[in-house]
Amino acid sequence: MAGLLSRSLLRAGTSIAPKQTYSTLRNSTRAQNLSQRIYAQASLKSYPRTFATSPQKQQYRTHTYDSGDGNPPVKIQIQEPPSFFKRSFHFIGRVLGGILIVTFGSVIALVIYEPDMIVATEVVRMAMHPEEGVSDERTLQIEAYIQNHPIVQKFRDDPSLIETRPHLDIPTLLRPNVLTAGVLTGPDRIAVPPLVFADGEGKKLYAILHVGEQLCGHPGVVHGGLLATLMDETLARCCFPALPNKIAMTANLDVNYRAPCKANQFVIIKAETTKVEGRKAWVSGRLESLPAPGADADGRLLVEASVLMIEPKNIGVLMREVPNKDSVSASPRAAVRGA
């Protein structure tokens, strides 16, 4: 009885199921087989790619396939990642764009917030190279006064003296790290590099320069520490050619201030090597105001100083080239090397 009931129910269910159900299942199975076949063909066959303006269009592409059997075409989106060339091109473009943005942004910010920094750098460069042309009128006047002064002409007529500008011998990249050739250089400071006349044997030296209004310790009076620095540097440069390796360090500096040195004036430093013993050299010097053209007397004595210079031990091993006395006498730049 139970078996007959089950078979009757089965027959009833079969007769109730409409024909559309079978057609739907058959179409689903056919569509599934068609999709599998299309994906398999797409994985084996390469299709032409075109550049798109957006990354989303580069990652997906729509392919149309004809399934046959009178059915409508099937459209399928297949993911296609960008090629290595495209990814590299975009990466390089982003890097270059970032660099340009940072560079132009920094320049614009510097011009807006720190315009004096650019101007000051250019002024220092021009002041260090007056022979290349200086736009600052005051600096031009200072340079012309020094070049045309009778004392300068007198030194140039002396065959025993060599004319140099030691600060210009310092490489341009290193000048900002040299006190008297970098920070202290510029308008209203040391406007132009000191003009130096020295013999080739390290016996005497003369330096002429201008001290500006921004070098003061008291209003209108040049700072005593700056004057000591100038004396130390100039006296040391005087004795260098007399030492074995043409270089030395300050061991003792004695400075006596005789009168206030007023700002915005020309000064001359006179140095003389008094004694040399091996690696040691003793030098004395005077800092005076530069006398006016046509004056018979010397300028006013402002500072007196004496210094003991000692050449470091084994310095010759560390130096690539050690010129002899003949080369020092023949080369104007070698005569003042090391300052």
pLDDT in tens, the chain (339 residues): 444 444 444 444 444 444 444 454 455 555 555 555 555 554 444 444 444 444 444 456 666 666 666 677 766 666 666 777 888 888 898 888 889 888 878 777 766 665 544 444 444 444 445 444 455 788 889 999 999 999 999 999 999 999 999 998 888 888 889 999 989 998 899 999 999 999 989 999 999 999 999 999 999 999 999 999 999 999 999 999 999 999 999 999 999 999 999 999 999 999 999 999 999 999 999 999 999 998 888 999 999 999 999 999 888 766 655 444 444 333 333 333 344
Chain centre distance of CA 93: 26
Q: Tell me the backbone φ, ψ of residue 271, rounded to 5 degrees.
A: -125, 150
Q: Where do we find the tokens 């330096």?
A: 207
CATH topology of domain 137-336: Thiol Ester Dehydrase; Chain A (3.10.129)
pLDDT of residue 179: 92
Residue 255 pairs with which residues in a beta bridge?
305
In 3D space, the residue among 210, 219, 217, 218 whose CA is nearest the CA of residue 187 turns out to be 210
Q: Where do we find the tokens 């000591």?
A: 228
Chain centre distance of CA 247: 29
pLDDT of residue 109: 73
Residue 271, H or E segment = strand 265-277
pLDDT of residue 231: 98
* Calpha distance 225→215 (Å, rounded): 10
Chain centre distance of CA 190: 23
Sheet order of strands, 249-257 included:
162-164, 195-198, 204-211, 265-277, 280-289, 301-310, 249-257
* Calpha distance 336→339 (Å, rounded): 7
Q: How far apart are the first and last CA of the chain?
A: 125
Q: How many CB atoms lie within 10 A of CB 289?
A: 17
In 3D space, the residue among 270, 279, 300 whose CA is nearest the CA of residue 196 turns out to be 270
* Calpha distance 97→100 (Å, rounded): 5
Cα torsion 258, 263, 265, 266 to 10°: value is 60
Alpha helices in the chain (DSSP H): 2-16, 19-44, 55-59, 84-113, 115-128, 137-147, 150-157, 166-169, 224-239, 315-318, 325-330
pLDDT of residue 118: 46
Write the CA distances from 238 to 161, 192, 268, integer angstroms: 12, 20, 14
Beta strands 162-164; 195-198: pairing state:
antiparallel
Contact 256, 217 (CB under 8 A): no
pLDDT of residue 173: 85
* Calpha distance 106→94 (Å, rounded): 18
* Calpha distance 88→85 (Å, rounded): 5
Residue 64 pairs with which residues in a beta bridge?
75
Write the CA distances from 174 to 5, 181, 186, 189, 316, integer angstroms: 109, 9, 16, 19, 22
Residue 210 pairs with which residues in a beta bridge?
266
- Work out the angle between the directed axes of helices 84-113 and 115-128 (0-180°, nearest 10): 80
Name the residue ranges covered by the structural domains of the chain.
28-82, 137-336
pLDDT of residue 234: 97
